[in-house]
Copies of this chain bind each other. A is one copy, B any other.
């Protein structure tokens, strides 16, 4: 039997009071019972029309097709919401409006990373700064070698072949860090000039450095993440490039910095996570600076129920599992907006699930987990590609 729906043009309500429809949709966790009728959200109604062969009419019994119903609502990003809703449903899982959230579900444990501490070596060493390359060369062979093998600062010799060559190369993060903490001076530049040159090339340099220094001071080692499509790759405290022949420590994490005031097309953002996933690294997102609650934050879209042992979670028996933010491929998101969404999900005690509908309506999921490094004033997030 086809599901039957009514759209009341005056009130803008979508509902059904046809007994067979009511019992069928309530069993499937669609809609909300109020006064003997089941009321639907636009996404639910569109789904029933599109997929469950639902027949919709207005109050005068004129038939209404998908576009007739959709065009009756002035809802932002209705298609992003509809397609992510549809995809979750198509997986046999339950999805409900975020408005039903009752908060503090306690389903978002914080992941703790091991503590560590950087013991700053005190040198009195000089380097030459190459402004256009944002790189410093130290040609004191003994210091360069020690810096590399003891602290993994700079690249002595050649990459993966430190015996080849006798100079040491520091990138601009290492340069500034060593000037501040390890007694490096440059024969041709001050700290101020290094920062200015770096900012000229990438205006977000101070934020990038802030993240670099935060991890470094806690004993972590950060090197370029270029090969993995991210800003940094990361090693746990105690990591060293010294190794037995033919051995190499592989990093397991990469770090990407997303400044609050930066806007990025979702597709570019997702690309960075994809590269990390393809090389089997854990993707860590850093949104540096203080989290400020803005007046109008990013609103979440849905509550997600997932699978459980022997079946699926339902609103009847289980708390929701995730809070979902619905996005589309060509939409832009800012660092501050993403931070808003993460904070809202956290207030519900849920992990955030980012659902991105591409131009072909296929949906990709990224789960955001909170992460803590002991001693750090910042929050970081692990982002995982999920196939629900």
What residues of chain B lie closer than 8 Å to A128, measured between beta carbons?
67, 70-71
A330 and B201 form a contact (CB under 8 A):
yes
Alpha-carbon separation in the docked complex, A137 to B169 (Å): 55
A12-45 contacts to B, CB under 8 A, are none
What residues of chain B lie closer than 8 Å to A227, measured between beta carbons?
358, 362, 364
A171 and B133 form a contact (CB under 8 A):
no
Determine if A207 is an interface residue (Cβ-Cβ < 8 Å): no
A356-372 contacts to B, CB under 8 A, are 356, 358-362, 364
A364 and B226 form a contact (CB under 8 A):
yes
Interface residues of chain A: helix, strand, loop or mixed (majority): mixed
Minimum CB–CB distance for A150 against chain B, Å? 17
Alpha-carbon separation in the docked complex, A67 to B136 (Å): 10
Most buried by B among A50, A127, A173: A50
Which of B67, B226, B275, B330 sits near A329, CB closer than 8 Å?
B226
Alpha-carbon separation in the docked complex, A275 to B273 (Å): 10
Determine if A11 is an interface residue (Cβ-Cβ < 8 Å): no
B164 and A90 form a contact (CB under 8 A):
yes
What residues of chain B lie closer than 8 Å to A161, measured between beta carbons?
90
A73-81, A108-116, A311-319, A343-351 - the one binding chain B: A73-81
Alpha-carbon separation in the docked complex, A70 to B159 (Å): 20
Q: A51-B164, A71-B188, A271-B271 are in contact. List 12 more A-B contacts (CB 8 A).
A: A66-B137, A67-B128, A70-B128, A78-B132, A83-B169, A135-B359, A159-B360, A226-B267, A226-B329, A229-B267, A229-B274, A275-B275
